[in-house]
């Protein structure tokens, strides 16, 4: 591929050689496909690995680390990483970086303060995720957490006056049904569980996390639409607020215990893995997710559910019964249907209707006519992207 793009290779290729310019469309298409597959892999690994790593770290025997300290450390590392990236964008010029941050953070303080509310909600959400994953099997949490699609859709309808297609409303109903079945299986005692786990507290935490995720994403889009800030600037600002608010939450919830035992009490390599995954995993997804369309994102979510389930069986002895399989299957199907673009959904509906009334092969392309343009699967509408990684939702409109 590098040879095809080089300027000197075609001159020596001889008669009949294809020029670099002639290869560009195909090469670009192949490169785009590779980027899409890489994006799919990154999304699947990020979605599944964070939940599995938290579950693993929280169920290890021995001293249990303070979840509030892990949330603060993730925000600190994320903020420092964004600061370094901005420093690199300014070509290592400290003065230019300082002037830029002074202008963006202090002079434009109104835009900065707008980020306080979503940052507060995201900090709360991160802490709630630890509570939920500590009390629910990883696979059960992964399935139940897809309720954030429902909450984001409802908030986008209420706050942004978005409209959803009938297929999307049906998929939301299917999603809720699937989650309800999984929770019924969990409440019915779908396998042994440790005595220190409380499924009721886990369910309450994951529902609260989904509500906060949906509201924060839509609120962020509403207040920052048209903002000119970069991805790294917005995440630096969120990191500053997140660190401060995380420290307040740490002091309020576990301040006495942290003061007595130390900030890094219970930290093991597994815990540091969780912190690094939270800090850098979302940033990595923010980079690659632009190469993934909505269908690919939905497919990644479905694969991450399957991966979490298989890994939970191997790592935690999770038991999959028919009720869980049914509920998870409904959720996976709902995620895929919800991620379909409106045009594709209408095409499916019209094809189904025409097949039932006129029989198959009614709409055939006339000979010699060019095929119709492919439907685009990209939509910037937040209502079709609630399952995006939270970090990307934060920078919506940047």
pLDDT tens string 373-393: 444 433 334 333 433 334 444
- The answer to whether residue 390 is domain-embedded is no
- The answer to whether residue 34 is domain-embedded is no
Around Cβ 188, how many Cβ atoms within 10 Å? Answer: 9
> Quick one: pLDDT at residue 53?
92
Backbone φ, ψ for residue 378 (5° rounding): -100, 135
> Quick one: pLDDT at residue 24?
56
Q: What is the DSSP letter of 66?
A: P
pTM for this predicted structure: 0.72
- The answer to whether residue 116 is domain-embedded is yes
- The answer to whether residue 357 is domain-embedded is no
Burial of 226 (0-12, 13-18, 19+ CB in 10 A): exposed
> Quick one: pLDDT at residue 130?
93
Give every residue of the chain whose pLDDT is below 70, as ranges.
1-28, 188-196, 224-229, 286, 289-295, 342-398
CA atoms within 13 A on the CB side of 86: 24
- The answer to whether residue 122 is domain-embedded is yes
Cα 296 to Cα 287: distance, rounded to the nearest angstrom: 15
> Quick one: pLDDT at residue 245?
93
- The answer to whether residue 312 is domain-embedded is yes
The model's pLDDT over 341-359, given as tens digits with 9 standing for 90+, comes to 766 555 555 554 444 444 4
- Per the structure, the complete domain to which residue 209 belongs is given by 63-188+199-343
> Quick one: pLDDT at residue 220?
78
> Quick one: pLDDT at residue 65?
93
Query: Are the beta carbons of 124 and 186 closer than 8 angstroms?
Result: no
Task: Tell me how many domains the chain contains.
Answer: 1
- The answer to whether residue 394 is domain-embedded is no
- The answer to whether residue 178 is domain-embedded is yes
């Amino acid at each position: 591929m590098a040879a095809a793009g080089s300027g000197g290779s075609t001159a020596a290729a001889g008669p009949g050689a294809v020029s670099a310019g002639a290869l560009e469309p195909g090469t670009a298409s192949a490169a785009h496909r590779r980027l899409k597959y890489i994006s799919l892999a990154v999304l699947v690994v990020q979605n599944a690995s964070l939940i599995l790593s938290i579950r693993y770290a929280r169920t290890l025997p021995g001293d249990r680390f303070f979840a509030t300290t892990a949330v603060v450390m993730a925000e600190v590392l994320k903020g420092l990483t964004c600061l370094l990236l901005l420093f690199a964008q300014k070509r290592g010029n400290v003065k230019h970086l300082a002037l830029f941050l002074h202008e963006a953070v202090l002079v434009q303080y109104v835009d900065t303060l707008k980020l306080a509310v979503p940052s507060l909600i995201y900090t709360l959400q991160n802490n709630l995720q630890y509570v939920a994953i500590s009390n629910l099997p990883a696979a059960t949490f992964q399935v139940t957490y897809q309720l954030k699609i429902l909450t984001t859709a409802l908030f986008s309808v209420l706050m942004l006056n978005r409209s959803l297609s009938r297929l999307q409303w049906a998929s939301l109903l299917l999603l809720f049904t699937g989650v309800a079945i999984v929770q019924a299986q969990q409440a019915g005692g779908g396998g042994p569980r440790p005595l220190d786990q409380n499924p009721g507290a886990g369910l309450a935490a994951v529902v609260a996390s989904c509500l906060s995720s949906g509201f924060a994403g839509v609120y962020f889009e509403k207040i920052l639409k048209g903002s000119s800030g970069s991805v790294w600037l917005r995440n630096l600002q969120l990191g500053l607020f997140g660190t401060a608010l995380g420290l307040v939450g740490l002091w309020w919830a576990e301040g006495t215990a942290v003061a007595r035992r130390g900030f890094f009490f219970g930290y093991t390599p597994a815990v540091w893995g969780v912190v690094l995954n939270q800090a850098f995993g979302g940033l990595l997804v923010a980079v690659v997710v632009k190469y993934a369309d909505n269908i690919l994102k939905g497919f990644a979510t479905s694969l991450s559910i399957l991966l979490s389930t298989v890994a939970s069986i191997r790592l935690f002895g999770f038991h999959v019964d028919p009720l869980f399989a049914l509920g998870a299957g409904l959720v996976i199907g709902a995620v895929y249907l919800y991620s379909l673009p409106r045009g594709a959904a209408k095409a499916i509906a019209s094809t189904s209707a025409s097949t039932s009334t006129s029989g198959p092969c009614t709409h055939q392309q006339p000979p010699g006519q060019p095929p119709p343009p492919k439907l685009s699967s990209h939509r910037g509408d937040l209502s079709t992207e609630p399952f995006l990684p939270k970090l990307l939702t934060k920078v919506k409109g940047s």
